[in-house]
Every structure is written in C-alpha cells, then in structure tokens.
Chains A and B, each alone.
Chain A
Amino acid sequence: MSDETVDARGLSCPEPVLLSKAAIERIGRGTVDVLVDTVTSRENVARMARTLSCMVEEKEADDGSYVLSITKE
C-alpha cells in the first residue's frame, strides 16, 4: 500500500520526474507509486529515485503503462 500515488501518464518530460520528486520529498519516508506510460519516463523517474537513495520496484500494468513503487526509508 503506497502513501501517495502520482499519475504522470501522458505528461511531457520532465514533469514525471518533477512530480515524483516532489511527492518523495513530501512524504519524507514511505512509498510513492508513480504511473508513467513511456519507457523514457520510467527510466528517468527510476534514475532520479535512485539518486535520492530510494528503492525502486518496476511493474508493467495490464494496459501497457508502468508502475514504479519508490520507497524511501
């Protein structure tokens, strides 16, 4: 169960990264689920999360979009 969900599907670079980063900083500690629909967004969000020392779990949803579960301890 995530503490916050960010729906970044359909948004232009760099909005998925900015929204995800803001959510991670907002919750301080916990899990943020980020929804994106391009591989580029998935890579960019994951890279940003890892630079913030977060754990990232990537899953593909049924509709072809991606869910990144980002956990900050």
Chain B
Amino acid sequence: MRLTRFLASRQGMIVAGGAIGAMAAALQLCGNPPNMGLCMVCFPRDIAGAIGLHRAPVVQYLRPEIMAVVFGSLIAAVAAREFRPRAGSAPIVRFLLGVFAVIGALVFLGCPWRALLRLAGGDWNSLVGIGGLVVGVGLGCVFLKRGYSLGRNHPMPWIAGCLFPAVMALFLGLLLLKTSFKEGQAIFFSQQGPGAMHASVWISLGLGLLIGMLAQRTRFCTMGALRDVLLIRDFHLLSGVVALVIAVAVVNVLAVVLSHLTSETPLTIKIGWQAMPISHANHVWNFLGMVLAGLCFALAGGCPGRQFFLTGEGDGDAAVFCCGMFVGAGITHNWFLAAAPDKMVDGVLQLGGPGGYGRIAVAVGIVFCIILGLTARPRKTA
C-alpha cells in the first residue's frame, strides 16, 4: 500500500522515470543498438521480422524486452488487483491506428521512447521528431476537446485478458528454443545490422520485467505526458519523462567517463545532426513522421509503451493496437515505407529519409487520422 501510494505520487513518478531511463540506457550498454536501449516501435518491428511478417534481414530478432514489459506489467497488475480484462472499443480503428503509428515512427526511425533516448544520446534530430510529436499530440488534443471518442470497452472473461501475454510467452519460447521451422525460414535472427545487436536474453528479460512493473504502477506514458500538459496543464507524467531523459544522459556520460578510466578502447558519444546512429537528418520527414505517430497515439489513448503495459492489465483494445503495430511493421518494410538512415560515403553525407511510398503513406495516415478525429463521436441515444 505504501509503495502504491509512493509510486502514485510526483516523487514516485520521478524516481520511477529515472529508474526506467537508467535501465533503458543500461540495455544499450549491454548490447542493444546505439540510442536504442529500448524502443517500443523498433522492437516490435524486429519481432515482426523474426516471425516472418517482413524479410528485411538487418532487423529480425525476437526482442525479449517487449515480452518482458508485458509480463512485468501483468505481474504488477495482478499483485495490485488491477488485472481487469476489457475490450470492445472500435477494434478495427485501433488496429489501423497501430498500423499508421508504426509507419510514422519508422519514417522518423523511432518511437517517442527512442526519441528521448536519442535526445539524451546527443542526436539532435530527435528534437525535430519531438517537435512533430508535440504537434501530432496537440492535434489529437483538439479532437479530444471536440468530443472525439472511440466508445466504451466492456468487461471480458479473464481468458480474454490473458491471450496477448500468452502470445508474448509463445514468442519468448520461440526465442529461447532458437526455433527454426524450416532451414532458411522463420524464426529469423539477423546476422548483421541493428537486429544482430542485442543484450543477453536474461538481462533483457530482467530489466524489461522491472520496467514493465514500474511503468504499470506509475501509468508511465510518453504521449500522455505531452497530452496532459496541453489539455489540462498537468505535469505529473511529464516529470517522469524528464527524469527518464536525465537518467539516460547521466548513464551515457558515466559510461563514457568510466570507460576512459578503465579501458584501452573507451566508449564515445557522438553528438550532432548528421550520420547519427540509426537516424537521419531529413527534418521534414522526421517532423511529419512523428506528427502521424503522435496523432495515432493520442487518438488511441497511449504511447506504444503504454499500449504494451495495458495489455498486461488485460486491456484487449491495447492488444489490438499492438497487433496493428506488428502488422504495420511488416507492411512498412515489405512496402518500403520505412526511412533509410543517413550514410557517410567517402566522407560525403548521403541524407536518409523515406522514399516516395513512405511519404505517401505518411500523408494517407495523417488524412485518415484527421477524418477519424473529426467523425468519431459517441452515438447519441434517443
């Protein structure tokens, strides 16, 4: 009870945000890709690749962090008697919001969580993405104030609330058994590129569990942090987000300093705009990609992390959104919608960003969200 009250307080939110940030930074130090200790879009994208929903060979890995945050949230929810299976609020809409959210985020090359990690890692392109996120969430707030609603969910049988965690357990089993259904076929494991960069399974599971538990207890939400400030001037969630960014930056700097004192090949932090790790400086599309992503998260009621944490509480609507994210990731790579990162070729910058299909997809997504925002209202009963 005392812990529950503490975690619901401002101080608790700040401590939890800092702890989550430190663990996310630690995951990078333990082997996850640069400025990607934890990404709630890139990691589902890697999982989508691993199970064969796309065949981009450099981003295929059953990221255990995603399974772990769901399990951690489930454990915390059950312990606090907050596991309440519920579903039924406009599932196809939420599914498509998940699809478009991933499209937008993979044009920016990260979710709001990764944007914060990139910011704390010195990648200033994240500022443009965060600017787009603010605009997207702000537009969502306009729709919310006008009465936008996807309607009520309803209590479901307990088994309905267990199914998404069960699917995550299946994925974890496939990872631990290094399953191959047929030679050269799923389950795919990247041999190079970001998909080949990962912490040990047990570290990922352990830290992911803790992150899931803390996030569930504190209702941590990167989109909600912005939304609450814009809508009702509430800084509670934002305080946790700020603490996360500071903690990531502190861990990054400490790691560099310690490595300089103890190692012959010390770590470095790359700071700047161009050719940053798994990033591009195509500012228009960094901005617009995150406008789309932010709008989708606002209309769906939570950032991608929050959606995964909600599945641990038995929220079937969040589960549908997460399924949309997995499918959207598959579509994004199969249809060449994702952005390419910047590349340095013979010392000359080749600017990354989305191709033509990705730009069209972002435009279609924004139009879809605007139509949805304007037209989704509760039914008036006679």
Question: A residues touching B (Cβ–Cβ < 8 Å)?
Answer: 9-15, 17-18, 21, 37-40, 43-44, 47-48, 51, 64
- Which of B19-27, B79-87, B348-356 touches A? B79-87
12 A/B residue pairs, CB under 8 Å, sorted by A: A10-B89, A10-B152, A10-B153, A10-B154, A12-B89, A12-B149, A12-B317, A14-B224, A15-B144, A18-B145, A37-B84, A43-B8
Please report the C-alpha to C-alpha distance between residue A9 and residue B313 in the assembled complex, in whole angstroms: 16
Please report the C-alpha to C-alpha distance between residue A64 and residue B231 in the assembled complex, in whole angstroms: 29
A14-B224, A14-B231, A44-B219 are known; give 12 further A-B pairs, CB within 8 A.
A10-B151, A11-B152, A12-B317, A13-B221, A15-B149, A21-B232, A37-B84, A37-B155, A38-B84, A43-B219, A48-B232, A51-B234
Question: B residues touching A (Cβ–Cβ < 8 Å)?
Answer: 8, 80, 82, 84, 86, 89, 144-145, 149-155, 219, 221, 224, 227-228, 231-232, 234, 236, 300-302, 313, 317
Q: Are A10 and B231 in contact (CB under 8 A)?
A: no
Q: Are A17 and B232 in contact (CB under 8 A)?
A: yes
Contacts of A13 in B (CB 8 A): 221, 224, 301-302
A40-B219, A43-B219, A51-B234 are contacts. A14–B228 as well, Cβ < 8 Å?
yes
Please report the C-alpha to C-alpha distance between residue A37 and residue B236 in the assembled complex, in whole angstroms: 21
Please report the C-alpha to C-alpha distance between residue A38 and residue B151 in the assembled complex, in whole angstroms: 16
Q: Are A47 and B219 in contact (CB under 8 A)?
A: no
Please report the C-alpha to C-alpha distance between residue A11 and residue B376 in the assembled complex, in whole angstroms: 13
A21-B232, A48-B232, A48-B234 are contacts. A14–B86 as well, Cβ < 8 Å?
no
Contacts of A39 in B (CB 8 A): 80, 82
- Measured CB to CB, the closest approach of chain B to A4, in angstroms, equals 17
Contacts of A40 in B (CB 8 A): 82, 219
- Measured CB to CB, the closest approach of chain A to B42, in angstroms, equals 24
Which chain B residue lies CB-closest to A13?
A: B301
Q: Are A11 and B8 in contact (CB under 8 A)?
A: no
- Measured CB to CB, the closest approach of chain B to A72, in angstroms, equals 16
| Chain A-chain B contacts (Cβ-Cβ < 8 Å), number | 56
Q: Are B149 and A11 in contact (CB under 8 A)?
A: yes
Contacts of B302 in A (CB 8 A): 13
Contacts of A48 in B (CB 8 A): 232, 234
Q: Closest 5 CB pairs between A and B?
A: A10-B152, A12-B301, A10-B153, A13-B301, A40-B219
Contacts of A64 in B (CB 8 A): 84
Q: Are B234 and A38 in contact (CB under 8 A)?
A: no
A17-B232, A43-B8, A48-B234 are contacts. A9–B152 as well, Cβ < 8 Å?
yes
Q: Are A14 and B144 in contact (CB under 8 A)?
A: yes
Which chain A residue lies CB-closest to B88?
A: A10
Q: Are A38 and B152 in contact (CB under 8 A)?
A: no
Please report the C-alpha to C-alpha distance between residue A39 and residue B219 in the assembled complex, in whole angstroms: 10
- Measured CB to CB, the closest approach of chain A to B133, in angstroms, equals 17
- Measured CB to CB, the closest approach of chain B to A69, in angstroms, equals 20
- Measured CB to CB, the closest approach of chain A to B149, in angstroms, equals 6
Q: Are A10 and B234 in contact (CB under 8 A)?
A: no
Contacts of A17 in B (CB 8 A): 231-232
A39-B80, A48-B234 are contacts. A12–B145 as well, Cβ < 8 Å?
no
Contacts of A18 in B (CB 8 A): 144-145, 231-232
Contacts of B155 in A (CB 8 A): 37
Please report the C-alpha to C-alpha distance between residue A32 and residue B145 in the assembled complex, in whole angstroms: 20
- Measured CB to CB, the closest approach of chain A to B97, in angstroms, equals 11
Contacts of B232 in A (CB 8 A): 14, 17-18, 21, 48, 51
Please report the C-alpha to C-alpha distance between residue A12 and residue B300 in the assembled complex, in whole angstroms: 8
Q: Are A10 and B86 in contact (CB under 8 A)?
A: yes
Question: Looking at the complex, which one of A12, A14, A37, A43 makes contact with B150 (CB distance below 8 Å)?
Answer: A12
Contacts of B8 in A (CB 8 A): 43
A18-B144, A18-B231 are contacts. A47–B152 as well, Cβ < 8 Å?
no
- Measured CB to CB, the closest approach of chain A to B6, in angstroms, equals 13
Q: Are B224 and A38 in contact (CB under 8 A)?
A: no
Contacts of A21 in B (CB 8 A): 232
- Measured CB to CB, the closest approach of chain A to B338, in angstroms, equals 28
Contacts of A38 in B (CB 8 A): 82, 84, 313
Please report the C-alpha to C-alpha distance between residue A40 and residue B224 in the assembled complex, in whole angstroms: 12
Contacts of A11 in B (CB 8 A): 149, 152
